[in-house]
Amino acid sequence: MLMRVSEVCDAETESLKRRIRDARVVVVHGTEFDDAGEASVGPLTFESTLQQIRTTYAQLQKAGVKSFVFTADHGFLLLDETTQKVPFGTARDPSQRYVLDPHARAEQGMVNVSLSALGYDGLVGYLLFRNDTSVFTTSNSGATFVHGGNSMQERVIPVLTVTRSRAAGRTHSAYQIEAVREKDMMGVRRVRLRLKLSEGQLGFTNANTVTLALRAVGAPEVRPVLKDVNGLGTIQDGKLRMAVGDDWSELCFSLEAPSSDKVRVEFFHPDGVEQVGKCELADWFEVDWKRGMPEPVTAPTDRMLDWADALIDEGVRRVFLHLAQHGSITEGEVIGFVGSARAFRRFSLDFDEHARKVPFRVRIEPGADGKRYVKEGEK
């Protein structure tokens, strides 16, 4: 059974248990790290993505799963002013971490290997890459993220196996969060909140404290910073530990992002251990522009990511995401995404199969510079 991380995080325990009841293996996957990196908002969202993984683990335990295997397909490198960029031909010739070339070039600081030796059937030529962690100079000058390249992060596949002797016990208490916005004070956002047992719950079965977290709704690039709390809560590792009670607490926080657009916020239980309903405030909050943060690139919507996951090849996935966002793409841009003219020919042969997996129609137009792919209406 295949599920997304977001599906598991948001599922009710009994519903999740019924869904996976007959499955021998449940594969939970997500592309959030790559998506955030490609959108140049990676570091702003990595911690929340890790928290989602922890929540997924807790949710599956409550649903009766005892054995887990955590893995990833590859790592990544963050690019900054210390990154060494090496030119190769024109800026359009290489990808950031490799070059596909018909010849086995013996360039200084580079190694080469034939595609046939790597087992790529039907492909000829050579893969060239750096023997260090430098990247090639490309036309994508604003990138802040690159897949691992010649680094341990790319070459070592992490595998973590966790087995419990018995399934996690089901929590018996359900909680609700209540929150009310207060007037800002000296540029700091303020909210009154409390954590209460849901109606009909028995008080002697509840936990002493419950972890709560804050996030911007639909804006993963916005980073909430908890500053102070007065009342029944304490701040630990960027999250709020709240005691259950009728008394209100006051939380002071800021919202940092590379833009100053207003956002709505919600409180939620990030651990997935207790039964806690989310609490979204109706108010819109000011965001503090944070100097030095990268300008955000429009990230794909959740709906786009759902269908895009069916496109296994990374280059093909990027082509159709570009189409979904911008409405058209040229043959030259497709070649840049898939990596080479040979890969483009394979893309053309398999185009109809790829197109069946996306929620919109695509028209192909001939032109003086090659094909042009144009997005049409929804299917």
pLDDT over threshold 60, residue 277: yes
Q: How far, in Å, CA of 278 to CA of 97, rounded? A: 42
Do 214 and 261 belong together in one domain?
Answer: yes
DSSP string, 32-50: HHHHHHHTT-HHHHHHHHH
Residue-range definition of the domain harbouring residue 38: 2-73+157-163
Gyration radius from the chain CA atoms: 24
> Pick from 289, 324, 339: which residue ends a domain?
289
> Pick from 109, 133, 163: which residue ends a domain?
163
Q: Is 40 part of any domain?
A: yes
Do 253 and 306 belong together in one domain?
Answer: no
Number of domains in the chain: 3
Backbone φ, ψ for residue 89 (5° rounding):
60, -140
CATH number at residue 223: 2.60.40
- The upper half-sphere exposure of residue 54, i.e. CA atoms within 13 Å in the direction of its Cβ, equals 12
Using the Cα atoms of residue 180, residue 255, residue 283 and residue 238 in order, give the sign of their dihedral: negative
Q: Is 136 part of any domain?
A: no
Do 272 and 337 belong together in one domain?
Answer: no
Do 197 and 281 belong together in one domain?
Answer: yes
Task: Note the pLDDT tens digit of each residue in 316-367.
Answer: 988 998 888 888 888 888 988 888 888 888 899 889 888 888 888 899 988 7
CATH number at residue 325: 1.10.10
Q: How confident is the model at residue 204 (pLDDT cuts 50, 70, 90)?
A: very low
Q: Is 133 part of any domain?
A: no
Q: Is 119 part of any domain?
A: no
Task: Note the pLDDT tens digit of each residue in 135-151.
Answer: 888 877 677 788 766 66
Give the Cα-Cα-Cα angle 234, 239, 243 (nearest 5 degrees).
40
Do 257 and 349 belong together in one domain?
Answer: no
pTM above 0.85, yes or no: no
Do 284 and 310 belong together in one domain?
Answer: no
Residue 296 is predicted with a pLDDT of 46
Task: Note the pLDDT tens digit of each residue in 97-139.
Answer: 888 888 888 888 888 888 888 887 777 889 888 888 888 888 7
Q: Is 128 part of any domain?
A: no
* Strands 159-163 vs 209-216: parallel, antiparallel or unpaired: unpaired
> Pick from 137, 163, 189: which residue ends a domain?
163
Do 183 and 282 belong together in one domain?
Answer: yes
Q: How far, in Å, CA of 84 to CA of 96, rounded? A: 11
Q: Is 281 part of any domain?
A: yes
